[in-house]
Every structure is written in C-alpha cells, then in structure tokens.
Amino acid sequence: MDPNNIQVVLVHTTHAGNIGGVARAMKNMGLTRLTLVKPRTFPAPEAEWRAASAIDVLQNARVVETVEEAIADAQFVVGTSARERRIPWPVQDARHCGERIVNQARAGESVAILFGREDRGLLNEELQLCNLHCHIPTHDAYPSLNLAMAVQILTYEIRMTELGDSIPAEQDANWDTPFATTADMTRFYTHLEETLIDIEFLDPQAPRQLMRRLRRLFNRVRLDEMELNILRGMLSETQKRLKERG
C-alpha cells in the first residue's frame, strides 16, 4: 500500500498542541500526509513540541480554507463521528474502517480521513461529504477522546491491516530458544520436588496440592531450554549448599 494514498484531515483545530500530537501519531503508523482546514494557530511552537520527531509531517502539512478544498481530489472519504445522526449513514468501527481504508488505498484510490473540532467534532454538512462514517466505541461513562488519541486509534488499525499476516499469529512463533520437551519437564518436576523436600518447604507426608499447582504454573508459562537449565541450576546449587551445611 502506498501511504501517500491516505491523508489525515483536521478540521478547525483549536489547540496547536493537538496538531503536533496528531503528526506524531501519524508518523508512528507510517502516514505522513496531513491537511489542516483553517486551524486557529499554525504554525506554532506547541505543535512542534508535541510532534517530537515528526516535525517533517508538520512542515509538509497542507493548510486550506474549507473541507471541500481539502478533499477535492479524494475518491473515498471517511468521517469520524461520536454521535448518532438523524439520517442513517454507512458506519463502521475503527477496526473495520481501517480495513476498508487500506483496501481502497491498495486499489490506488485517494483516501481522506476527516477529524473534527475538539469540542463538537464534524458538522452534519461535513459528514454528508463522506462515503463512510467511523465510530470509535468508547465507554458510555466518558466517551470524549482527545483528538490525537482518536487519530492514533484509527491509524493503528490501518497499520495492523497493512501488516496483515506478517505479524505472527502465535506469541511463540519466533522464539529464540527451543521449548523444553515433556521428558525434560518431567525431570525438572522431580528435581523441584526433591529440593522442596530438602529445604522442608514440602512435607511428603502432607503434600496437599503443591506440586500439582506448580506443574500448572510452569506448564502455563512454557519454559524454553535455557530457562529450564537456569532453574535446574538453581535447584542443584540449593542442594549443594544444603549438603555443605550438613
């Protein structure tokens, strides 16, 4: 996907710091095209402070007077909205919206994502210019999202869709050391039980469920060979010290 096919459009942003935060959020996820519709203050030191290492996104930002000008060349427009509208409109959550945006961008279409004012979002007239509305399902107790946070959520979903199958589905897919075999784990549990008896932590006459719970613990973690060797070494050293002390 060509990231230049996607532009983030901020409409009438009041706080310059939010523009910097958005620039940083975009660059984190590989997007650099930023358009500002009549911001109250720009450029501004606050924007640069918040942008950190994304100053280039700010420097290349396009400033226009109207939303219509901002999206004039866009073929697919997504508007973010936190409110339900009187007239139903195609709407998806951020995850499915991210997928749709990537698909359109991969097809070579120019995509614009509109984010509205900090205090009241996009106006109905602006949302009517969009092909799709994106809703981020926040908790009812506090539905308000900071502008940069909203951009970060949607650009993250875009990034995850773009990466697709390149991210291992399994947590252990590219582990650096082979995992311990069942036979090795069996020897470890025997060694562990002997050591716990030696230090009188485990009473063999009343073992209760101690070893069963420890087995469950280590099986849940999945030890690799190096980790198992470390633990076996600790147990051996413990037994050695006990013998030295008589």
For residues 239 and 214, give the distance between their C-alpha atoms in angstroms, rounded to a whole number: 19
Please name which of 36, 38, 46, 37 lies closest in space to residue 15, comparing C-alpha atoms.
Answer: 46
DSSP 139-195: -TT-----HHHHHHHHHHHHHHHHHGGGS-SSTTTT-SSPBPPHHHHHHHHHHHHHH
Per-residue pLDDT 10s for the chain (246 aa) are: 899 999 999 999 999 999 999 999 999 999 999 999 999 999 999 999 999 999 999 999 999 999 999 999 999 999 998 665 555 677 889 999 999 999 999 999 999 999 999 988 999 899 999 999 999 988 889 888 899 999 999 999 999 999 987 766 666 557 788 999 999 999 999 999 999 999 999 998 888 899 999 999 999 888 999 999 999 999 999 999 999 887
Residue 139 CB contacts under 8 Å (≥ 6 apart), including other chains? none
For residues 242 and 239, give the distance between their C-alpha atoms in angstroms, rounded to a whole number: 5
Q: What is the pLDDT of residue 83?
A: 60
Q: Can you give the pTM of this predicted structure?
A: 0.75
Contact 147, 39 (CB under 8 A): no
- Go through the domains of the chain in sequence order and give each one's CATH number: 3-166 (3.40.1280.10), 182-244 (1.10.8.590)
Q: What is the pLDDT of residue 172?
A: 58
Q: What is the pLDDT of residue 88?
A: 63
